[in-house]
Amino acid sequence: MAGHRVVIVGGGFAGLQLAKDLKCPDTSITIIDRRNHHLFQPLLYQVATTVLATSEIAWPIRAVFRSRKDVSTLLGEVIGVDTAARLVSLKDGHSIPYDTLVLATGARHAYFGRDDWEPFAPGLKALEDATTIRRRLLLAFEKAELESNPDIRRAMLTFSIIGAGPTGVEMAGIIAELTHRTLVEEFRSIDTTRARILLVEAGPRVLPAFHETLSHYAEQSLAAMGVEVRTGRPVTNCNEHGISIGDEFVPSHTVIWAAGVQASKASVWVGAEKDRVGRAIVQPDLTVMDHPEIFVIGDAALVKTGEGTPVPGIAPAAKQQGKYVAKVIKARANQRPAPPPFKYKHLGNLATIGPSSAVIDFGKLRLKGTLAWWIWGFAHIYFLIGTRSRMAVALSWLWAFTAGHHSARLITQKETLKNEV
């Protein structure tokens, strides 16, 4: 298609929302992603903990835009941007020209300079991460069933989660449900209810982005479910045998990373100033300094609120930025004045803890318990793509809630770590 060429790198919440909202005559849109699917990341931990199947939270990008003839999708990995020639370079040697470029490349987990921990403590940002964690969780029980040495068995049944933000808290809660309800009658040599679930947070409390009363409630709820919460001391070492919390070593064969994140290399590609975690520092209209034709949005960008604090890296924020950039591009195409600078509207923080237990922080309004759990569930189902996905997730949750069974408990792929079968 001739006309103005918009290239969007990244098919996450920000990029997808932008493409959906951007409908301009004589404008073509190309979405480039190294995976062929859009992923609903807020529920990724439920794939990792056997509640949901991968197909219930991911959709082919091509299918999403099958009726949009102005949108093309390319499967490719971006390795650089030539800002002078306005070309996006792909790893396979192809170059994609653009008139407007939007980098919505997201972030990956970061290990605070200890990347050597990653093989032993996988993070959770992609479907591959979720299936890796799910495999290790399930294999831990299978291996423990065969183990006669009580010390080794204890280490096999110790699950350590590093980082007590929403992902860490939600992960710990579902693992507790898995050990105390789902698997309790399925093994003969081990008692799954005696599994140790350890949630470690370097800061003073769990869910630090929430109000203190909600953090306290979450910690009490986790303790009631059998989760051991350790706050105020960081993990100082991690290997195939376990983790060190300060000077204390905890034997643990299954470790999950839910702590820091690192932005993609988008800022490097376009020569933008960046913060300590690699996010591009953008202008009030989300463009890069000296490059009004380049936008950086979502987790790849450092965007400030009206109070000067960073906009949180959550799905609603990314979607708002995608909507805003669509307005800017349409205004330019129609030679209209640009919209006012981007203004983030915070819709609240949500986290689930366990069955019928969640916390919601709307600022002045704070909810906890069963009502918060129902609101959390409806909100997540609402943002899923398509009726089929909403029905599938709702049915999976209903089955898990009423029968205590998790439907996605298949062990797939071969593990290469020495402490794996």
By annotation, the residues acting in catalysis are: 170
Burial of 190 (0-12, 13-18, 19+ CB in 10 A): buried
Helix (H, G, I), strand (E, B) or coil at 407: coil
User: Residues 57, 72: contact at Cβ < 8 Å?
Assistant: no
Bridge-based pairing state of the strands 158-162 and 107-109 = unpaired
Strand partners, 351: 359
The amino acid sitting at 219 is E
User: Residues 202, 244: contact at Cβ < 8 Å?
Assistant: no
d(CA 338, CA 324): 10
State the DSSP H helix or E strand holding residue 398, giving kind and residue range, or none if neither: helix 387-403
Please count the other Cβ atoms lying within 10 Å of the Cβ belonging to residue 363: 10
Closest CA to 49 of 133, 166, 164: 133
Residue 116 carries which DSSP code? G
Q: How many helices (H) and strands (E) does the chain have?
A: 11, 25
Find where tokens 């202008």 sit. 283
User: Residues 117, 111: contact at Cβ < 8 Å?
Assistant: yes
Contacts of 124 (CB under 8 A, 6+ apart): 44, 45, 48, 109, 130, 133, 167, 171, 256, 257, 258
What is the dihedral angle through the alpha carbons of 258, 259, 264, 268, rounded to the nearest 10 degrees?
A: -170
